[in-house]
Amino acid sequence: MPERTHPQGQLVIQIVAMPADTNANGDIFGGWLVSYMDMGAGIAAKRRARSRAVTVAIDSLTFIKPVSVGDTVSFYAELLKVGRTSMQFSIEVWTLAINAEHNEKAAQGLFTFVAIDDSGKPHPVDR
């Protein structure tokens, strides 16, 4: 099966990778990428639940290619499942280098969130 050439889901964050975001090898630090993946999924979860939502699990995470300083990094969220209080999102990370013609997929993951009320207690997503 050929690799897709475009992202799935809704664009939730777009940012340029900066030198301060690098690891000791000069690539963008994986933890930086994961934190933006979590924020992007959190944005989508908050929109879907119309309330606060918290991360309860990172069900899978795969780094596909390094991200470089100067790349435009785009995070796409797609809702996969809705439970009573939970939501599972696929998050894809796509990069565009300054001299590139096409985006490349750099990472993907599955994140699960729970909708919560103002007291921090789970509540139904659909209410």
pLDDT of 7 reads 96
Listing DSSP states for 69-108 in one string gives TT-EEEEEEEEEEE-SSEEEEEEEEEEE-TT-SS-EEEEE
Q: State pTM to two decimals.
A: 0.94
Which residues touch 48 (CB under 8 Å, ≥6 apart)?
79, 82, 87, 125
Give the residue extent of every domain in the chain. Answer: 10-116
Query: What's the average pLDDT block by block, 10 residues per block, for the chain (127 residues)?
Result: 82 98 95 98 98 98 97 98 98 95 96 97 95
pLDDT of 2 reads 60
CA angle in degrees (0–180, nearest 5) for 46-47-48: 95
pLDDT of 1 reads 55
Say which CATH topology domain 10-116 has: Thiol Ester Dehydrase; Chain A (3.10.129)
